[in-house]
Structure formats: structure tokens, C-alpha cells
């Protein structure tokens, strides 16, 4: 008696592979954005003595600007061509991401009252990571849409 093995349907496997690659590319760009964000944050906070809230907002904005290039030309290079609409959507949703990240930072910073650079960086990193889930969903759904979705 032979037993047949059930292979997953090929279209589902292909979608899973594409999603895995997309998540990996998003992670590379996002990871570099986190580094830019933390570097700018520490430069402002530790280097010039800025207050934590203005430092986190400014650092997030710097990272947002550099991330656009990485998302457009690397993570989502296979998506629709650059348009004014795409750029506007990116910065609107990124602005919402910065607001979300800043609110999370504010809540954690004032709730936990971190002291010292290590604690401030931990709070900053956590706020970035939580806001990144939102960014991934909106960038892939509305900003960098597949060619098939253009009409």
C-alpha cells in the first residue's frame, strides 16, 4: 500500500515565498532606518542635549526621509512606478507612523521614567518596533501597490 503525500498548492507556496522576501526586504530597509533613527536620536539627546520628545520626533523624521529611498528602490522596487500620489501617501502614512511612535515613546518615557541613555534607547527602540507593524501594513497595501492593482 502506498501513501500519497499532499503538497501545498503551488500558488499558495509562491505567495508565501513572495511575502517572505517582502518581509525580509522591509526588515533590511527598516533595520537601517532604525539605525538612522537611533543614531540621530542619540546625537540630539546625548550630543547636543535636546529634550527627549523633540529628539525622538526629529530622529523619526530623519529616518522617514531616508527610508523612502530604501523602500522605493529596494524593498518595493517591483511595485508601481513613482508617482506624486505614492510619494504623498508614503509621507502621510509615515507621518502617522512618526506620531504613533512618538506617542508610544511619550507614554513609555513618562510612565516608566527611564533614566540614562540605555533606558532611553530601549524605550525608543520599542516604540519604533511597535510602529513598524503599522508601517509595513500600510506601505504594502496603499503606498507601494503591486502592478496588478494599478488601474
Q: Which tens digits make up the pLDDT trace of 100-110?
A: 999 999 998 88
CA dihedral 44, 45, 46, 48 (to 10 degrees): 50
- Asked whether the predicted pLDDT for residue 151 surpasses 60, the reply is no
Q: What average pLDDT does range 12-41 have in this prediction?
A: 88
- Asked whether the predicted pLDDT for residue 132 surpasses 70, the reply is yes
Q: What average pLDDT does range 124-137 have in this prediction?
A: 88
For residue 136, what pLDDT is reported? Answer: 84
Closest CA relative to residue 119, chosen from 129, 105, 101, 130: 105
Q: Which of 39-43, 110-114, 135-139 has the lowest mean pLDDT?
A: 110-114
Find out whether 63 and 33 touch, Cβ atoms under 8 Å: yes
Rounded percentage of the chain residues whose pLDDT exceeds 70: 87
Torsion over CA: 58, 63, 148, 25 (sign) = negative
- Asked whether the predicted pLDDT for residue 60 surpasses 90, the reply is yes
Find out whether 30 and 74 touch, Cβ atoms under 8 Å: no
For residue 80, what pLDDT is reported? Answer: 59
Say which residue, 137 or 115, is predicted with more confidence.
Answer: 137
C-alpha to C-alpha distance for 113 and 142, rounded to whole angstroms: 36
| Residue 77 per-residue DSSP state | T
Amino acid at each position: 500500500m502506498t501513501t500519497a503525500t499532499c503538497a501545498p498548492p503551488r500558488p499558495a507556496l509562491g505567495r508565501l515565498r513572495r511575502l517572505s522576501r517582502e518581509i525580509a526586504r522591509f526588515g533590511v530597509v527598516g533595520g537601517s532606518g532604525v539605525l538612522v533613527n537611533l543614531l540621530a536620536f542619540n546625537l540630539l539627546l546625548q550630543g547636543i542635549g535636546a529634550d527627549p520628545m523633540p529628539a525622538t520626533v526629529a530622529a523619526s523624521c530623519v529616518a522617514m526621509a531616508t527610508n523612502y529611498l530604501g523602500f522605493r528602490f529596494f524593498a518595493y522596487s517591483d511595485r508601481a512606478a513613482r508617482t506624486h500620489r505614492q510619494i504623498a501617501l508614503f509621507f502621510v502614512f509615515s507621518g502617522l507612523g512618526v506620531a504613533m511612535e512618538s506617542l508610544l515613546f511619550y507614554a513609555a518615557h513618562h510612565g516608566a521614567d527611564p533614566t540614562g541613555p540605555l533606558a532611553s534607547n530601549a524605550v525608543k527602540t520599542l516604540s519604533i518596533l511597535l510602529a513598524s507593524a503599522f508601517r509595513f501594513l500600510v506601505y504594502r497595501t496603499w503606498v507601494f501597490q503591486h502592478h496588478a492593482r494599478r488601474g
